[in-house]
Amino acid sequence: MNKNEDLTKQIKLMSPEEMKSLASEIKKDMIETVSNTGGHLASSLGAVELTIAIYHVFDSPKDKIVWDVGHQCYASKMLTGRWDKMDTLRQYGGISGFPKRHESVHDADDPGHSGTSISIAYGYAKARDLSGDDYSCVAVIGDGSLTAGVSMEALDAAGDCRTPFIVILNDNRMSISKSTGSFSKHLQKLRTSNLYKNFKTNLKRVYSPKGVHRLSVIRDKLKYSLLPKSIFEELGFKYYGPVDGHDIESLTNVLRFVKSLDQPVLVHVITQKGNGFAPAMEDPTKFHGVGKYDPVSGDTPSADEKSWSDTFGEILVELASKDPDICAITAAMGESTGLAEFAKAYPDRFFDVGIAEQHAAAFAEGLALNGKKPVVAIYSTFLQRAYDQILSEICLQDLPVIFAVDRAGVTGRDGETHQGIYDIAYLYSMPGMTIMNPRDRGTMENMFRLALELKTPVAVRYPKNCPGTYPVPAGNGSPQIIREGSDVLIISDANMLSECIKCAGELETKVIEGWKPLSYAVCDIGILKPLDLEFIDRALTLYKYVVTVEDGTADGGFGQRVSAYAAQTGKGKVLNIGWPDAFIEHGSISELRAAYKMDSRGIAERIISFIGGRS
């Protein structure tokens, strides 16, 4: 088998035993490869047999296979001509960790966030019908993603319209954290109906697959006498399952049958996250998105420092110990956002709402309206899904809701859909919103205390890595000079502070077009919104040049507000530095900063060009 080639045609000719052997080989290589690249291992391991069965039954790329989010897509990449490129997975210039149409004709969509695959596959199916074409449209979605409101909206619309297409529910009882909510409990009832499972097993033993299908009417009548009707059938989908997602023969039989049906179908597949690698099966949350690890033991390098997420979690537990009104909300990411200890300490005040960011924000609104102090911990890239609730409900009513905006700024290897570079711009547009950006643990603690005192909407944003250390006392949100200088002031958000300090040191050794070496000061802006206009006015008066640097898009960032004030007052010369108006690809944070001139050297080059052009 040539791993450089598209293997989808070969899979169609394989026996069940050959496909089982292929699954073992894929898992072995995946475990070894991801141990070096990092990535979404547990989800992809759990979907290997399902992926093989899909390519055995369906005629991709003619048939459209839409993977929700793409956490489970590694086996698909390996089978569609990218197996030999897996060592470049999530590396700068290498293949993405998610489906990408530019990589393969088998990738039907560039997925963004959870829950959209049903809508997209349904759109494909309607377009097919309008064009008079004939092919299958398949959405592969995890049970965690079904908690997203857009999934429910899609099921409601598609079931009513009766357009033939297939939803494969990959049910591993997990999202990133353990699945929660009444829908998860409904799936559990479907999984554990032993009477129905025994009936199906006996039916399968006695009859051939065709015979089983002829008895589908009898089976359905018996099914409804044995367990409650599934919610999917109430929504207009024909429901088949549960099916063992690691039994390739059962999977191919069911998928082959549902492919022939002329109506919306949902196939409920039970898989085990991390299947084939004991450490990932034991701790699927850890191996959902994992860095480098030992491919035998699963051991990961111990962290020398606490991450921003862990630091936030510790601070919130401490604050909550003195204030019984503080509540914590997350959207299926309790561990990832640092809230695991809070959940243990205050289970009645911890709320994991599932992958439902809109609900998280609206739920926080209700808590705030009734006197509680909700803190909503969500990654920057996912928070944008709650834009309407934050703007039109929380900010409109000036409610005391605090957003802990994790993974703010460029996050690295997950690429375009996960870079947190838009939150400053979209939160800045909201009247009444305060935006803070701490540089160290002490400043973060002070900012959360201030946020609680303000009793208005506040976003505290912080990056993926670890808090810094600086030779000045912890800040309280006011602009703070970190490095003294007299000619040029670099005003930075906390994320970019270390790059700016290094940049200032490099610049003081350079002569710019005949000028004597200039002296560069660096300031931590602290609170990004509202700007301290008195400080900005003094800076524009005292310094020859002012440069703003932020780990967000330059368009719509705080720097543009500084430039606008300078233009209004006729004071100073201002350069704004931030990420460009573009989607930033995957790579390490340092590689991406270097590529986009957002590292110390690149910032220095941009400042030299700016000052040199004005000297």
Annotated active-site positions, please?
Answer: 273, 357, 385
Cis peptide before 374 (omega within 30 of 0): no
Crossing angle of helices 48-57 and 16-37, rounded to 10°:
130
Between CA 426 and CA 434, with CA 430 as vertex, the angle to 5 degrees is: 95
Cα-Cα-Cα-Cα torsion 478, 483, 485, 488, nearest 10 degrees, comes to -70
Q: If we measure between CA atoms, which residue out of 130, 112, 26, 41 comes closest to residue 75?
A: 26
DSSP element (H, E) containing 243: strand 238-244
Tally Cβ neighbours within 10 Å of residue 473: 10
Dmax over CA atoms of the chain, in Å, equals: 91
Residue 305: CA count within 13 A, CB half-sphere: 11
Q: How far is CA 273 from CA 57, 188, 250, 284, 562, in A?
A: 23, 16, 19, 6, 48
Q: Where are the beta strands (DSSP E) in 462-544?
A: 480-483, 488-492, 520-524, 527-529
Residue type, 576: N
DSSP 3-state of 190: helix
Distance of CA 256 to the CA centre of its chain: 33
Angle at 336 between CA 498 and CA 469, to 5 degrees: 20
